[in-house]
Structures are given as structure tokens and as C-alpha cells.
Amino acid sequence: MRSIAITTPNHLEIVDIPKPTPGLYDAVIKTEVAFLCNATDRKLIEGHFPGVETYPLLLGHESVGIVETVGAKVTTFAPGDRVVGGLLLEPTDSKYASGWGGFSDYTLARDHLAMVRDGVADAEHGWSDLYQIQRVVPKDITPEAAALLCTWREVYAGFSDFQIKAGGEIVVFGAGPVGLSFVKFAKNLGVAYVASVDTLPEKRQKALNMGADEAFAPTDDALANLAKRRGKPLDAVIDAVGNERIINAALPLIKMAGSVCVYGVIDAPAITIQKHAGPYNFNLLIHQWPTRVWEAAAQDPLCEWLRAGKLRAEEFISAEFPIEQIHQAVETAKSGFAIKTLLRY
């Protein structure tokens, strides 16, 4: 079967590897569509994702497909189900490490609930926290929306980590897929004021289209003077990019005991905080890995938003390519203008 491999940093190939064979708790998933992750996949491709040093590796972690076969002890998945989050954590071809391996013709989903039931949900028996989010998607949810759940569920769960409540007031730095999801979800959840910050006017307009109350360039005087103009500082600033400069730019904007919430992965080993720029008391919340229980639970309310028209896949998909055109897809995603780039199998 085909899989997308990073042979060395900045070199991608479509490679042929063995189709996975299911273990007792595994389902084999035939991939329908997948999405490039603008942050994680880019950093893996360029060779500077924190903690990943082994190449070649198989790429991809945002995919959805149809169950083809299941192992003997699987009860959560059945042939014909649509499942989100299939991966190849241990590629059959030992030549390759795993960069999650979701950009393969076939992936594996492991039955977390069955493993819990049988008392084997532990590392000794091959369990990982990732299996909590490999879930069946209702049949009325399109493949494209189902694959976007990989991004959406984690962002939705981030509201719990960041303790952002209805009626609050926030600014979101970055209007890529994560930043725009924060904007959209915040308005759906009743956050009173949401502003977006991005360098590109096209993305600022996209944020306004998704419900942002205002949108600014990072250098706008209106952003620097936002608290004064509005008569009060903000409850929180979300850094959807993962950047020391953004963290420090956020500090003057937040209220006493307010929060700077870092969602984007910081690829530097250390950062410097200019604490004098903020209030005496503030929270710095670093979200570099999902809280799986909340991420899994986010799927149901997100599906309800999809059914109600409060969330639409089309708003986030800016380009589509067949998997054979993976190089063009990556170049499009790197352009800075793409939101989500879809790969179709």
C-alpha cells in the first residue's frame, strides 16, 4: 500500500509498505480523506518537531476512513463504520519510524473500550492514550467534516484546559485552522468578545467571517491600545501559533490574574518572559499535548454543531489534492494562505 514518508528532513516520498494486519483489538481502516496539519506536519517535514529525531518516518495524523476488518476482541468498531484517527504507530516495515503514519492507504484503530473492559488498557499490552480518540463517527457526518474533527476536538478540549467561559473576552493570535477554530468555537460557546490577530488581511477577513468581533494586524495601534479603548483588559489571550514574541505581546492586554494561553507548539527549548509587561498576577498556560478524555468527549457536541449548521467543513477547506500530488499539497499548505489542505484517496 502507499504511505507518505519523510525520508530525510524536507524530502517527501510516496513509498510502498505492507498493509497492516490487525491484532486482537485492532480495526483496519481504509483511508478516505486526510488533512495536512499546518503546524505539526510542517515541523516534522522540516525536521524540528520537539522530541522527533528518527528518519525516515511515516507522516500524518488527521485522517478518516472505513473499517474493513477487525480483530477477534474488537467490539467498538465494525466493518463499514467510519472511524476518525487511524494511525500506524508501529509500521510493519521496520525501515520507517512513525510520524503517526496516518497518510497511508490503510491505518489501524485500536479498541480502547474493549481493552478497558478486558483489563489490558496499559502500556504492557500495547495501549496508548491515543486510542481514546479513535472513535466511530456518525453516518450523517461527511468524511471531510469527520477528518476535521482531528483538529476541532483538540481545540474544543482546549477551552477546558484554558478555563475560558461564556461571557469572557479574549484575543486569538493566529488565524490558521487552530486560531479560526478558537474564534468560531468561542462565539458558539457564548464568549462575549473575540478578536483575531494575523499578519495576512485575507486571514483577518476569514476570522471576521467566522464571527470575530474585530481583527487586527500585529502592528496595529488599535491592538496595542485595545484595553484602553475598550475600558478594560481582557480575560485571556490565546497564542495559536506557539511563539515567544506573541506570548510577550499578549501580556499588556490581559487583566489582573488573566491568562496567556499557549496552544501552538513551541519548538524552542526555552523562552524568555517579559513579566514586567503584564499585570502583577497572571497565568501562563501551556497546552502542548491534548487532554485525551476531554478531546474524545468533544466529538459529540461538535457533531451537534455540524448538524445545526453552526460549524461547516467548507469554511476551513481551502485546497484539495489527490494523494498522488502530495508535494503540491505541501507547497500549498506552506504558502501561508491555506487554512486546511485536504488529501483525497
The three cell numbers locating residue 199: 499578519
Give residue-wise pLDDT tens across range 288-303: 888 999 999 999 999 9
Residues 66 and 174 in one domain: no
| CATH code of 55's domain | 3.90.180.10
The three cell numbers locating residue 120: 489490558
The three cell numbers locating residue 340: 486546511
List the domain range (segments joined by +) for residue 236: 155-286
Overall domain count for the chain: 2
Rounded CA-CA distance 115/272 in Å is: 43
Residues 6 and 81 in one domain: yes
In a domain, residue 263? The reply is: yes
In a domain, residue 303? The reply is: no
Rounded CA-CA distance 179/173 in Å is: 7
Residues 197 and 257 in one domain: yes
Residue 248's pLDDT is what? Answer: 97
Residues 62 and 32 in one domain: yes
Sequence-distant (6+) residues with CB within 8 A of 325 are none
Helix (H, G, I), strand (E, B) or coil at 124: helix
Q: What is the pLDDT along the chain (345 residues), one digit of tens a residue?
A: 999 999 999 999 999 999 999 999 999 999 999 999 988 898 899 998 878 889 999 999 999 999 999 999 999 999 999 999 999 999 988 899 999 999 999 999 999 999 999 999 999 999 999 999 999 999 999 999 999 999 999 999 999 999 999 999 999 999 999 999 999 999 999 999 999 999 999 999 999 999 999 999 999 999 999 999 999 999 999 999 999 999 999 999 999 999 999 998 787 889 999 999 999 999 999 998 889 999 999 999 999 999 999 999 999 999 999 999 999 999 999 888 899 999 999
pTM above 0.75, yes or no: yes
In a domain, residue 183? The reply is: yes
Query: Of 286, 302, 336, which residue sits at a domain end?
Result: 286
The torsion of the CA quartet 234, 244, 287, 255, rounded to 10 degrees, works out to: -20
Sequence-distant (6+) residues with CB within 8 A of 289 are none
- Residue count of the chain, please give it: 345
In a domain, residue 106? The reply is: yes
Residues 120 and 200 in one domain: no
Residues 161 and 250 in one domain: yes
In a domain, residue 305? The reply is: no
Residues 124 and 9 in one domain: yes
Residue 267's pLDDT is what? Answer: 76
CB contact at 8 A, 235 and 255: yes
In a domain, residue 227? The reply is: yes
Give residue-wise pLDDT tens across range 304-343: 999 999 999 999 999 999 999 999 999 999 888 899 999 9
In 3D space, the residue among 145, 201, 162, 155 whose CA is nearest the CA of residue 177 turns out to be: 155
| CATH code of 239's domain | 3.40.50.720
Residues 129 and 159 in one domain: no
Helix (H, G, I), strand (E, B) or coil at 5: strand
